[in-house]
Structure 1
Amino acid sequence: MKPWIKRTLFGMLGASLLVGSLSACSSGHGWRHGQMDEQNITEMRGKMLERVGSKLELDTAQKQKLERLADTLQAQRKAFLGDAARPREALQALVAGPQFDRVAAQALVDAKVRAVQTGSPEVIAAMGDFYDSLKPEQQSQVREMMTKRRGWMRHRG
């Protein structure tokens, strides 16, 4: 894999972790109770933006950059999911027959890689614009939040 692709993927992962960790702090957690529809996603996005804005004490320009980042990540998520309304069904179709469907699996992976390659420059730019607009103490808070959320799969306690 080319170095720039690795950096792009790690950059996307970092941006996703930031937004994911910040949104995980918000209440609701509708994803635990089934697939989220557009209304739930919009509500969760609004709560996340409000919570991050208040925790970091963002000014108006910073809030606009955070909203752009959220929009970009949401668009990237939609592009990554593609036409599959139910990604689990797409994976189950690979093992539906007597043999694993390698051609369909490779096509699925290729589509996901294309979506990441196509959308990653916008995600990286939006993440960079938001992060660079933060004051040093706000950047420190973001790093601290990411460190605290490192074990997001663990139970709190």
Structure 2
Amino acid sequence: MKPWIKKTLVGLFGASIMVGGLTACSSGHHYRQGAMTPEKMAEMRGKVVERVSSKLDLTDPQKQKLNVLADKLEAQRTAFIGKTAEPRAEVQAIMAGDKFDRTRAQALMDEKTRAVQANSPEVITALADFYDSLNADQQQKVRELMQRRKGWMARG
């Protein structure tokens, strides 16, 4: 894989993890539908894997590589969220006083950054293995889907 592709994928993945984490901390959506239980995560993961498999017409070996990638992404997400049952409470605690707790905010950001960096090589390897297992037509389809404004996993 070319270095610029790796850098782009790492940058996109890191940015998506950070945005996803901040969104999870700031939105109230999970309160309306309940917290993401392991069962809900497994259900969502199954739907995503099935959707990608059908859009790309994956073979069984390719599906296995996609499942490995899903495992690595799930491990990355778990490491990013951390041991806190309520990530929103962490952010609220930073802003609980008269002044913004910069030290605590930086410590939280450092913790999340370390979690992403620790698992990134495994995620990149799994992503590269999956992408490299695709044939030229499937790779082109991935590129086309990623060019869409909503992203390649969006509905529609």
Given the superposition, is the C-alpha separation of residues 138 and 15 from structure 1 closer, same or farther in structure 2, using an over 3 Å criterion? farther
Partner of 1:23: none
Q: Show structure 1 runs of 4+ deviating over 2 A.
A: 6-9, 11-16, 30-35
Paired residues for 1:33-112 under 5 Å:
33-112=33-112
Partner of 2:150: 151
Q: Could you tell me how far 1:11 is from its partner in structure 2? A: 5.0
Using the alignment, how far apart are the partners of 1:141 and 1:14 within structure 2?
Answer: 23
Asked if 1 retains the 8 angstrom alpha-carbon contact of 2:14 and 2:116, the reply is no
Structure 1's unaligned 5+ residue stretches are: 1-5, 21-29
TM-score, normalised via structure 2 length: 0.77
Counterpart secondary structure, 2:140: helix
Q: Could you tell me how far 1:12 is from its partner in structure 2? A: 2.3
Which AA in structure 2 matches 1:61? P
Q: Could you tell me how far 1:93 is from its partner in structure 2? A: 0.4
Using the alignment, how far apart are the partners of 1:84 and 1:14 within structure 2?
Answer: 21
**Higher deviation after alignment, 63-72 or 33-42:** 33-42
Counterpart secondary structure, 1:84: coil
Given the superposition, is the C-alpha separation of residues 141 and 14 from structure 1 closer, same or farther in structure 2, using an over 3 Å criterion? farther
Cα deviation digits, residues 99-150 of structure 1 (max 9, x gap): 11111111101101111110100010000000000001001111111122x3
Give identity over the alignment, percent.
54
Given the superposition, is the C-alpha separation of residues 105 and 14 from structure 1 closer, same or farther in structure 2, using an over 3 Å criterion? closer
Using the alignment, how far apart are the partners of 2:110 and 2:116 within structure 1?
Answer: 10
Structure 2's unaligned 5+ residue stretches are: 1-5, 21-28
Which AA in structure 2 matches 1:12? F
Using the alignment, how far apart are the partners of 1:97 and 1:43 within structure 2?
Answer: 40
TM-score, normalised via structure 1 length: 0.76
